[in-house]
Structure 1
């Protein structure tokens, strides 16, 4: 990589190399003079990037990355002064070697973590136990013992060590993504495309059949079994509503449902809204979620009625309240749009 001829910086930012919940795509649109690089983008989005592999998964993809990654890194290192990394992947398979190379030529690095990439399961389990809260950690660990193993914890310690050593700025959620990071953590920026805001008061004019949407990326982590239990109990009690559960569908299909949804059930073990929570609020929906300013105080302050704060034990009660008081649904939905 050092053999590339040094040229004048042409780009302000290189963003890569994994797009999590469209964050890289949105950053690419928000930051001036940026170039996006994605080697394994999500199957739920169909965005185009400045540099990407024709094959995203499998052995061939790893071979292509092993060849193309170092070449592209050397090229872009002579084109840009700032590198913004989302998640844990990079141009090379060894993150410390990659970061050491970039710092040796005076590049600025941002590490942007999004969840299980940096989160320590053991620390999260202890944090929730101290607060008297259940957590998804035990459930994931029951199905995947490695998740709670010392080897997995060692991986998280090493990732934090490298970020602490080389990053100029670190984005993470200090409590939701509790980790071994020792440096100052800036709260993850939540971005959303202004053209996709959908203020639709007309859908609240007829609430004879309230539409409820739940779209978990991971049912176990998001609290889907508890959502289904609440939905089933309300149906048995005679409540009439439309319940739509979306899994393994494109983001475009999710957004189409949000346009006509009245209530969205987001996630119930997490302390922050997540990208789906932002999407739901931007589409004029009343959102039930466990996001808590009390437990994750670093997230941006919001209006009191931006969403219905709902713990995993409150899904049935809070949903029943909105079904019993449908006039309250639109104020929650509208409060988000104008916050």
Structure 2
């Protein structure tokens, strides 16, 4: 994209958004929307949150490789390439802004992707027109690498920021961190409510925030846990979305060491596969090795516990203060240097012991991470705006 094209398209988007907004507001037949949720999908957050908000509308502009389809609005190709898409996005944004009580932005992206102001125009456009604004941060969209590295020095606990720049050097640059600061400043200035994980996603936000919540469908919590009483080896699953920062190297070392000790178990590793394949593997898994550089269980951790698997994770309520009290009972808290030890203990447990731990995980999901429970909290906060 040339500088000339951007120079033309950016102001054009702003004009089109305003025209679209005025036109939609004049049309009394247009049905209202409670909340527009988008524009990027992250681990089913958009889809799951919408189930908790009656009258909401999902608009995802960038297809997700593992969670494609099923949204109220997904763009189709238009003539004109990038410029044509930018014009279409502006028209849709203005139209939705005219119909909605508010927007919930999941992640760092904006609806007006031609803009390079870290959503400042977009946010101000909504606020000037009386539209409520919620920012829902999901991880590295708000996380500052320097701040998280300082956290590691203070606590001795490696975290995602420890290895993220090793995967992509851009994450360790000043330019990348300036963008995190700008995203935080825009949210601080305009958002009515901000959701994040205060420690695991620490960055430059200065305002009080609401704890990150998961929206897992309660009807998908496994009812049958007879797998713990079936004959055969224990099934151990590791399904990292990003192997290095999830600790796959630690997992593989633990698996090799325990097999050398003579412990019999089936190890399944999945990465870069459709979500349905991971779900099928979860159904028969007894133990799930989640992630070992994070302070939150993550959406996959919630799915694992809901499926009735014993979950190993570095998530710790004593580190991540936004986690509910008692969370550490729901999973096996495992530091990066404890993977082999903790996995050995689980593999040597009796079936009834593993079952009790799996049931504790399911209770945590029911109490803190379902669409029904989190939806009630979210609706209360939004209704108060």
Q: What's the TM-score, normalizing by structure 1?
A: 0.95
Which shifted more, 159-168 or 127-136?
127-136
Q: Where does the alignment leave 5 or more consecutive residues of structure 1 unmatched?
A: none
How far residue 63 of structure 1 moved from its aligned partner, in angstroms, is 4.1
Matches within 5 A, 1:1-339: 1-3=17-19, 4-5=22-23, 6-7=25-26, 10-54=32-76, 60=81, 62-93=82-113, 94=115, 95-302=119-326, 304-327=328-351, 328-339=353-364
Q: Which runs of 4+ in 1 moved over 4 A?
A: none
Aligned residues of 1:53 and 1:64 also touching (Cα < 8 A): no
How far residue 55 of structure 1 moved from its aligned partner, in angstroms, is 5.6
Question: Distance in 2 between the 1:261 and 1:133 partners?
Answer: 28
SS of equivalent residue, structure 1 residue 38? coil
Question: Distance in 2 between the 1:135 and 1:207 partners?
Answer: 38
SS of equivalent residue, structure 2 residue 93? helix
Question: Distance in 2 between the 1:64 and 1:216 partners?
Answer: 36
- CA 1:64 to 1:223, structure 2 compared with 1: closer, same or farther past 3 Å? farther
Which shifted more, 319-328 or 199-208?
199-208
Which shifted more, 4-13 or 267-276?
4-13
How far residue 54 of structure 1 moved from its aligned partner, in angstroms, is 3.0
- Tell me the matched-pair count: 336
Question: Distance in 2 between the 1:304 and 1:155 partners?
Answer: 34
How far residue 300 of structure 1 moved from its aligned partner, in angstroms, is 2.5
Partner of 2:12 in structure 1?
none
- CA 1:103 to 1:129, structure 2 compared with 1: closer, same or farther past 3 Å? same
RMSD: 1.8
SS of equivalent residue, structure 1 residue 97? helix
Question: Distance in 2 between the 1:253 and 1:117 partners?
Answer: 27
Aligned residues of 1:139 and 1:220 also touching (Cα < 8 A): yes
Q: Which has the higher helix share?
A: 2
SS of equivalent residue, structure 2 residue 303? helix
How far residue 2 of structure 1 moved from its aligned partner, in angstroms, is 2.5
Question: Distance in 2 between the 1:209 and 1:145 partners?
Answer: 41
- CA 1:294 to 1:65, structure 2 compared with 1: closer, same or farther past 3 Å? farther
SS of equivalent residue, structure 1 residue 269? coil
Question: Distance in 2 between the 1:166 and 1:266 partners?
Answer: 35
Question: Distance in 2 between the 1:139 and 1:336 partners?
Answer: 28
Aligned residues of 2:316 and 2:327 also touching (Cα < 8 A): no
- CA 1:143 to 1:278, structure 2 compared with 1: closer, same or farther past 3 Å? closer
Q: What's the TM-score, normalizing by structure 2?
A: 0.84
How far residue 126 of structure 1 moved from its aligned partner, in angstroms, is 0.4
Question: Distance in 2 between the 1:338 and 1:145 partners?
Answer: 40
Aligned residues of 2:194 and 2:209 also touching (Cα < 8 A): yes
Question: Distance in 1 between the 2:77 and 2:152 partners?
Answer: 40
Question: Distance in 2 between the 1:338 and 1:161 partners?
Answer: 37
Question: Distance in 2 between the 1:311 and 1:124 partners?
Answer: 17
